[in-house]
Amino acid sequence: LEPQINQTPSLTSVNPNSVLAGGGNFQVTLNGNNFINGAVVRVTVDGVTAERPTEFISVTQLRATLLAQDIVETGSISVSVQN
């Protein structure tokens, strides 16, 4: 058996990188490196972190659905990936 070594994922871009506050659920494409099948996108809004539905595309790309509740107000949200 060969042990699987998981490297830390890194993000290089998120598309779209801005949306209008008060909209509905929307999809984002995350580009980066070292994603694995089963990786999860996490968003942090007002200090609260939650996982979002995530689709593995490749080791360099994921697609996630962010929720309307993530963009209720104008401001910034943090997006990260956890393998």
DSSP state of 62: E
Beta carbons within 10 angstroms of residue 30's beta carbon: 23
Has this prediction a pTM greater than 0.85? yes
Q: Provide the residue-wise pLDDT of the chain in tens; the chain has 83 residues.
A: 566 666 899 999 999 999 999 999 999 999 999 999 999 999 999 899 999 999 999 999 999 999 999 999 888 899 999 99
Instruction: Say how many CA atoms lie within 13 Å of 69 toward its Cβ.
Output: 8
Per-residue model confidence (pLDDT) at position 75: 86
